Chain A
Amino acid sequence: MLRNILLALVGAVVAMTGISSTTVQVAADEQFIPMLVYRTGPYAPSGIPVANGFRDYYTMINNRDGGINGVKVTFEECETEYNTKLGVECYEKLKNKGSTGASLVNPFSTGITYQLIPKASVDEVPILSMGYGRTAAADGRVFKWVFNFPTTYWSQASAFIRYVAQQEGGESKLKGKKIAHVYHNSAYGKEANPTLKALASKYGYELILLAVDHPGQEQKATWLQIRRAKPDWVFMSGWGVMNQVAVKEAASIKYPMDHFVGNWWSGSDADVVPAAAGAKGYKSATFHSPRSDYPVHKDIMKHVYGGDQSKAKSNSFGEVLYNRAVVNAMFAVEAIRTAQGKFGKRALKGSEVRWGLENLNLTEARLKEIGMEGFTKPVKVSCKDHETGGPIIIQQWDGSKWNIVSDWISPIREVVRPMVEKAAAAYAAENKITPRSC
């Protein structure tokens, strides 16, 4: 206890400084990856498992394999508190670290991603905003330095509508239905709106948009509107405390939880804690399994925790957001490995890692080799398509754990891709970017 108190005093002092980071010495043959994390602040419950997942996967790669083809992965955390300004400061602080500078950056915040996009091409540090950030970045011809595979908010929204259609008995049954989108009133939360509006025109459902201000601690007005409108389905783009309160409020107004579907940032273990039994039946989208019994988990348990399950558990091992970070870290490692195939087994520069990201081809066979068969879907990135296929699956909370309850659902590409290309073209025109020919 005394140790905790002393640590607490140190922590408090560190918290007062605003930005903190753990410093790592980087040798010449080591691949440096900056880690923008949020272990403190209102979004810490979501940020902690993510940060732990990244850290554990990189550590496992080092301990099990001696690094990526012998090149050790080094990383340094910088605390952003999910604050865009702090996130940019962290990026600036870390981008030149390591013998070759930052290999790539995972901002883990749509707001930070938006700010880093113009910097990426100047600094030659590729951005991997996995399933978040600017959806238009899926068009690699315009966004050479930004990657958002395996799927985007727009693809997710369209796949959600396709899921609703499946549940209702076909696309024709969508006509006349009411679908509400409860969203975080931020760049992130608003991302799905254009797609949902376009699909409302196509399929004839009524779309109700309900914004919730940061942080989302109080949502009674929102859920009173849900109670009045009685939507057939509710889709949520929430984050942090907004998710927990929303699930609790939905249960409180007795909304049918199996018709309440969160996006993939609204379906973590923390999100269902306060509502307890009331959350039973709540669903969310995801693009990986919520289970923790894959070979990759066994390797992390063995090589990072030495089999100490309680220690692993206290580090969020196997939680939904932890698993997501493991997938994200795996993409980064495999992209570096791909780039090493072209540039040699050494520490690579950001521009070289960018090539690796753009030529990443994760097949089922490769996923099996790295202990992730069935954990997530294969990915094949190209110059033109930085998003790839974009399918999602739906998971459901049964009161004690998340279970997959759907097949993989493809997005409605014929609607989403033209929207992506149009938005990318507008961005290119606005920023005087000449699109690459792919």
Chain B
Amino acid sequence: MEIINFLNLVFLAPFVEMVSYPIFFSEVIISGLLTGVMYSLVALGFVLIFKASGVFNFAQGAMVLFAALTLVGLMEHGFPIWAALISTIIVLIALAFVVERFMLRYLINQEDIILFMATIGLTFLIQGFGETIWGSNVKPLDLGIPSESFEVGGLLLNEFDLFAAGSGAILVAVLAVFFHYTRIGRALRAVADDHQAAMAVGIPLKNIWIIVWSVAGFVGLVAGIMWGAKSGVQFSLSLIALKALPVLILGGFTSVPGAIVGGLIIGVGEKIAEIYWGPLVGGAIENWFAYVLALAFLLFRPQGLFGERIIERV
């Protein structure tokens, strides 16, 4: 009897609930999609750098924090929004320059794991540097983005979530065009394939790295603004990177559309899991469920949904 009850709770009752309350189920889906876009924003930064340099940049979360801290810190010092935004972008370009000059330059053609370890070190450096300059207190970030909630046909939507989703969509479109239709984009892909071969055909590797780290910094700034507006700008923004990892595993480390689709699947998947199956095990399953979902995908497509299939001659 208990087994039947258990099977019912796991395999039947959640679906009955979804069908019985379609408006609420729709709200869960929409909420998951909007959250997924936010995850994608963070995942994009990883994809950009991996795509262009083959480096898994563990410091991307710290870059999100640093970008948002710099923006809000400058605004607190009296900078108007536009000046703070421009200044922050300049700071991020300077950071990219420093990373290339003092870290990447010495690691050309090193093993991937060496580059990865270097970015772990960079994470601590950026976090410590950012917090010492701008402090560790929670800083409100108000860029005038509307955040009122409203109902449409019983669905509760929030203006800010919609704005974030729109921003994410525009950003992805711009990046897709940049990578596929510009000279720099093609050069970035060449560098990703092989550092030495790219240099041999005249691609300036150092400049390319500065460009890609700058663009990743800019994407980090957008992500930092969106997440920072929700929770205030504070250290925990750097932990957002952990939410991007399952997105990357699922979407593929080299695909911009993959980061978006992966984000949406993770966003919706974790919300459905938490709400319909979470209560069976005491809740709080969405964090690890995202990884379970991603690992399940790995079994069938190790390169992720949109990742490039790796074929190596042995």
Contacts and interface: CB of A to CB of B under 8 A. Distances in A.
A274 B284 contact: no
B133 A42 contact: no
Contact of A241 (B27, B133, B231): B231
B237 to A, nearest CB: 8
A218 B243 contact: yes
Interface stretch (A147-155, A220-228, A383-391): A220-228
Contacts of B239: 42, 215, 217
If over half of B's interface residues share one DSSP class (helix, strand or loop), that class is named, otherwise mixed; here it is: helix
Pick from B21, B231, B275 the residue with the most CB of A within 10 Å: B231
Interface string A3-41: 011011111111110000000000000000000000111
Interface string B225-242: 001011110111101100
A296 interface: no
B137 A45 contact: yes
Interface stretch (A106-114, A247-255, A399-407): A247-255
Contacts of B136: 39-40, 44-45, 48
Given A42-B239, A254-B149, A13 B133 contact: no
A398 to B, nearest CB: 17
Interface stretch (B3-11, B123-131, B165-173): B123-131
Contacts of B232: 45, 241, 244, 270, 273-274
A11 B131 contact: yes
A400 to B, nearest CB: 13
B156 interface: yes
Contacts of A45: 136-138, 232, 234-235
Interface string B257-291: 00000000000001100110010001110110000
Nearest to B141: A274
A378 B26 CA distance: 53
Contact of B140 (A12, A44, A220, A274): A274
Interface stretch (A166-174, A205-213, A328-336, A429-437): A205-213
Given A44-B136, A227-B156, A241 B286 contact: no
Interface size band for B? 35 or more
B60 interface: no
A-side interface size class? 35 or more
B31 interface: yes
B116 interface: no
B204 interface: no
A342 B18 CA distance: 68
Contacts of A273: 138-140, 232
Contacts of A210: 283
Interface string A196-212: 00000000000001111
A297 B254 CA distance: 57
Nearest to A38: B136
B236 A217 contact: yes
A221 B140 contact: no
A185 interface: yes
A16 B125 contact: yes
B275 A221 contact: yes
Contact of A253 (B149, B271, B278): B149
B110 interface: no
A240 interface: yes
A276 interface: yes
Contacts of A5: 133
A159 interface: no
A245 interface: yes
B294 to A, nearest CB: 16
Contact of A48 (B129, B133, B137): B137
Interface in B109-135: 121, 124-133
B62 to A, nearest CB: 11
Interface in A272-286: 273-274, 276, 278
A71 to B, nearest CB: 33
A215 B138 CA distance: 14
B24 interface: yes
A244 B158 contact: no
B24 to A, nearest CB: 6
B127 to A, nearest CB: 6
Contact of A244 (B127, B138, B156): B138
Contacts of A252: 147, 149, 158
Contacts of A48: 136-137
Interface string A237-268: 00011001100100011100000000000000
Given A213-B287, A252-B147, 11 more contacts: A8-B130, A11-B132, A13-B128, A45-B234, A220-B271, A227-B156, A244-B138, A248-B231, A252-B158, A253-B156, A274-B230
Interface of A: 4-5, 7-16, 39-42, 44-45, 48, 185, 209-213, 215, 217-218, 220-222, 224-225, 227-228, 240-241, 244-245, 248, 252-254, 270, 273-274, 276, 278
29 contacts: A5-B133, A8-B128, A8-B132, A8-B133, A9-B129, A10-B132, A11-B129, A11-B131, A12-B129, A14-B128, A15-B124, A16-B125, A16-B128, A45-B234, A48-B136, A210-B283, A211-B282, A215-B236, A218-B243, A220-B32, A224-B27, A241-B231, A241-B232, A241-B234, A245-B230, A254-B149, A254-B156, A270-B232, A278-B147
